[in-house]
Structure 1
Amino acid sequence: MYGPENKADVVIIGAGPAGLSAATELRRCGVQSVVVLDREPVAGGIPRHCDHYPYGLREFSRLLRGPAYARRLVVAALAAGVRIHTGVSIQSLTIGPVLTVTSDAGVRVVHARRVLIATGARETSRAARFIGGTKPGGVVSTGALQGLVHLEGINPFRAPVVLGTELVSFSALLTCRHLGIRPVAMIEPGASTTAFWPARWLPRILGIPLLLKTELLTIEGESTVSGVTIRRPNGDIERLNADGVIVSGHFRPESAILARSHIELDRHTGGPVVDQFGRCSDPDFFAAGNLLRPVETAGWSWQEGKAVGHAIAQSLQGKLPSPATGIAVELAGRSLKYVVPQRIVPTDVPPALDSFQFRVSHKAQGRLCLSINGTRKTVKSLSTVPERRIRVPLTVLPRSPSGTATFELVESDR
């Protein structure tokens, strides 16, 4: 239940790795009143659902399972003097900054000096992927599966198929293994796994067929899944017997509260437009973690939250430059999927986000080029596939940039 305070120096929305590390860092920087709000009944974020390794090496120099890692993050924040309130939903964000929140205690208006939004990302649903067929029970995301298995002790099926090969998809395989669930196949429309190459050995080790260049066409069943139809690489249509479907990956930022607010959203990421300090279009609001771009690891989000937390402390001390002098960062062509940050403010203050982060929309090879003030240069040669992290230091920009910085991936002839 949300406590009695109606104001705080910093309010953080989201009690996952990014939010909790930012909160802990803010207290270490001397910020007096730091409050974390989360709609879940227990703090810790997605790692609470992931009862497998590897977590914690970067943060605690120990190899931990997800729930143990989440508990350590919470304990560290509480020990630093952070106040955490769960079961709280955010209804609105307005200039001030002001938040309207609801909980079992009712509706409350909270005033803050700064707000950090760290609501993370969510997987794309079956409906959003336009998978045909009937609508039986037993079609779940990885997050829903992990919640059922690890938080509620429910075994939702015995022989599902897994759609996708992102890191979270392999996490789904480990979750299945935990309860003796044996997927009948792992289905990937692309020519190779999306996750890095060592992951592709996991299905083989577990004896699960990995079907590449294969499309999931329909899901069949009445009350529960009875099977799926797939299209093989040669065009043949085949039916697989299955009692469930795990629709994994294709993450999107959890930005619903921002869509209802005055804060500018980026059309490429679906998250907020931020500068190199994680500062939003309203400079009283900051963002960090997977809300910025889907999707990074818990360790990456933790590190990013810590850095943005430090930037918020600097902001409260008046040490950040005015956002009015910033330049826009844009993309040209169709090869680049997104870039973060999308705005750069000329300054000597060290950034929280020290590099541009990119993803590509398809397998690509070529030169990453930067155009600014009428000049164009190659900043990096690339050979990459979707969902691979691409980083370019902010120092590729002139010391005092002006105008618009445009990145484009010029692909080589194939």
Structure 2
Amino acid sequence: MTHQPPVITPDVLIIGGGPAGLTAAAELAGRRAGHVLVVDREQAAGGIPRHSDHTGYGLRDLHRVMSGPAYARHLVQQATRAGAEIRTRTMVTGWADDDTVDVTSPDGRYRIRARSIVLATGARERPRAARRIPGDRPHGVYTTGQLQNLVHLHHQPVGKRAVIVGGELVSWSAAVTLREAGCTPALMVSQYPKAESYAAFNAAGRTVLRVPVATRSRVTRVIGKGRCQAVEIEHLDTGRRRTIECDTVVFTGDWIPDHELARTAGITIDEGTLGPLTDTALRTSRPGVFAAGNVLHPVDTADVAALDGKHVAQQIINHLNSERQPAEGVRLIADAPFRWVAPQILRPGDPAPARGRLLLWADEFARFPRVTVRQDGRTVTRRTLAWPAAPGRVFRVPSSVLDGVSPTGGPVHIGLH
């Protein structure tokens, strides 16, 4: 006879204990949504901020600024004080059926069957292998997450001289971590005409951290036997190559959602974000399963992910209290130079997206972007925004640009014209 693992039955299961998951848990438990259970595979909940030991967290959601570890602790305390249960070192390994997952933890194997499930699994940086950068395979090559885990959680040394690959906001976070570890960031390499991060961070990085940026460049080879010795970089316009001595290389940005659970569930994946396809209520294609945070828009700041968690909580309460099926919706499609838009479905009767913003990712820089929304061959909206669209960071567009969209029309295209 086959032994069936034990089953626990919370009202809401949240998979992932980062900012989105913990904020959703605090909101749901505080509003008496029943038994709210958060599971996280790490030793402690808190997500990426837990080992990102610099300030800048909490501005949009908490209206204050704190360090990453302090922010993570605050979110954990918020959730537990509200009455949510958090189980760490708990890995969801798969799906037993549409509303039941298989779990492995130090307590053994069991199943969790919930009335509603939230995927808040976040995103990760692509490592060197996924970027297909040739050369030797020495020690001293990291992603930002690996670097920060090594330095802030395990207090291990790194090298003395580093090259940072990427110019996103997280790239400057890597530079700060390297400095704290006694390693000099010798160069930042970006394929774009200027570093992708906000101008204020780029200016501060150059003046305070004194990190030069090689723009329109890429790493073509890692050199070193045993320990990294150098990297070769190429200028994309001239083809000229040069070698930069370093014993540490940090690959930053180039994010991808942690979408394995969504894929194994057969949940529809958006081709642009590679995360679950969702509507403005953050429903996925599987009834009762929602998603929030950077698994949907890789990658935005921790406080924006947290506000996703607050937004999805109300939608889950609505789901638990209603049998109403969502109406048919229209697809939102990102046209070049946008790579993706989130969310991707607009349904009549649904709320505006979190913070009243559509999130898009641009592959080109536009100082005063003129956003154009089209449906069925007609221009619905054309609006010039006062903030730039730029590679390497999320571009936020007021969702009011969709006000003229027909709920019974064809796909809605969002581009720049």
TM over 0.5: yes
Map of 2:288 onto structure 1: 284
Residue 49 of structure 1 pairs with residue 54 of structure 2: no
Map of 1:118 onto structure 2: 120
Residue 404 of structure 1 pairs with residue 410 of structure 2: yes
Map of 1:390 onto structure 2: 396
Q: Distance in 1 between matches of 2:273 and 2:265?
A: 17
Tell which deviates more after alignment, 97-106 or 217-226: 97-106
- How far 1:339 moved relative to its partner? 1.0
Q: Distance in 1 between matches of 2:48 and 2:411?
A: 35
1:42-81 equivalences in 2 (<5 Å)? 42-81=44-83
- How far 1:63 moved relative to its partner? 2.4
- How far 1:99 moved relative to its partner? 0.8
Residue of 322, 326, 330 corresponding to 1:323: 326
- How far 1:324 moved relative to its partner? 4.2
Q: Distance in 1 between matches of 2:350 and 2:84?
A: 30
RMSD: 2.0
Q: Distance in 1 between matches of 2:389 and 2:98?
A: 43
- How far 1:208 moved relative to its partner? 2.3
Relative to 1, partners in 2 of residues 1:395 and 1:185: Cα closer, same or farther, differing over 3 Å? closer
Aligned residues: 406
Contact kept in structure 1, 2:17 and 2:40, CA below 8 Å: yes
Residue 196 of structure 1 pairs with residue 198 of structure 2: yes
- How far 1:350 moved relative to its partner? 5.8
Q: Distance in 1 between matches of 2:91 and 2:246?
A: 37
Relative to 1, partners in 2 of residues 1:407 and 1:188: Cα closer, same or farther, differing over 3 Å? same
The percent identity for this pair of structures is 35
Cα deviation digits, residues 123-152 of structure 1 (max 9, x gap): 011122221111111110000000000000
3-state secondary structure, aligned to 2:221: strand
Residue 344 of structure 1 pairs with residue 346 of structure 2: yes
Contact kept in structure 2, 1:366 and 1:409, CA below 8 Å: no
Residue 220 of structure 1 pairs with residue 223 of structure 2: yes
Relative to 1, partners in 2 of residues 1:102 and 1:374: Cα closer, same or farther, differing over 3 Å? same
- How far 1:351 moved relative to its partner? 5.2
- How far 1:313 moved relative to its partner? 1.1
Residue 9 of structure 1 pairs with residue 11 of structure 2: yes
Map of 1:157 onto structure 2: 159
Residue of 145, 148, 153 corresponding to 1:146: 148
Q: Distance in 2 between matches of 1:300 and 1:48?
A: 16
Map of 1:171 onto structure 2: 173
Cα deviation digits, residues 83-125 of structure 1 (max 9, x gap): 0001111111354411111112222111100000001110011
Q: Distance in 2 between matches of 1:60 and 1:262?
A: 35
Map of 1:38 onto structure 2: 40
Residue type at the aligned position of 1:288: A
Q: Distance in 2 between matches of 1:407 and 1:97?
A: 34
Contact kept in structure 1, 2:194 and 2:215, CA below 8 Å: yes
Residue of 372, 376, 381 corresponding to 2:379: 376
Using structure 2 for the length normalisation, give the TM-score. Answer: 0.92
Unaligned runs of at least 5 residues, structure 2: 1-5
Tell which deviates more after alignment, 399-408 or 60-69: 399-408
Contact kept in structure 1, 2:389 and 2:395, CA below 8 Å: no
Using structure 1 for the length normalisation, give the TM-score. Answer: 0.92
Residue of 320, 335, 338 corresponding to 2:337: 335
Map of 2:208 onto structure 1: 205
Q: Distance in 2 between matches of 1:281 and 1:157?
A: 46
Cα deviation digits, residues 261-306 of structure 1 (max 9, x gap): 1211101100001111100011210000000011110111111111
Residue of 225, 228, 239 corresponding to 1:235: 239
Residue type at the aligned position of 1:297: T
Cα deviation digits, residues 172-212 of structure 1 (max 9, x gap): 01111212211111111211010110111213322222211
Residue type at the aligned position of 1:219: V
3-state secondary structure, aligned to 1:314: helix
Q: Distance in 2 between matches of 1:179 and 1:173?
A: 10
Q: Distance in 1 between matches of 2:408 and 2:126?
A: 37
Map of 2:137 onto structure 1: 135
Residue type at the aligned position of 2:228: V
Contact kept in structure 2, 1:283 and 1:323, CA below 8 Å: no
- How far 1:372 moved relative to its partner? 2.6
Contact kept in structure 1, 2:136 and 2:225, CA below 8 Å: yes
- How far 1:378 moved relative to its partner? 3.3
3-state secondary structure, aligned to 1:206: coil
Contact kept in structure 2, 1:363 and 1:384, CA below 8 Å: yes
Map of 1:311 onto structure 2: 315
1:252-291 equivalences in 2 (<5 Å)? 252-291=256-295
- How far 1:348 moved relative to its partner? 6.2
Map of 1:250 onto structure 2: 254
Q: Distance in 2 between matches of 1:60 and 1:328?
A: 33
Q: Distance in 1 between matches of 2:412 and 2:63?
A: 39
Q: Distance in 1 between matches of 2:63 and 2:404?
A: 37
Relative to 1, partners in 2 of residues 1:241 and 1:322: Cα closer, same or farther, differing over 3 Å? same
Residue type at the aligned position of 1:101: V
Residue 300 of structure 1 pairs with residue 276 of structure 2: no
Cα deviation digits, residues 224-254 of structure 1 (max 9, x gap): 1011111245432211110010000011111
Contact kept in structure 1, 2:158 and 2:181, CA below 8 Å: no
Tell which deviates more after alignment, 202-211 or 369-378: 369-378
Residue type at the aligned position of 1:406: V
Map of 2:22 onto structure 1: 20
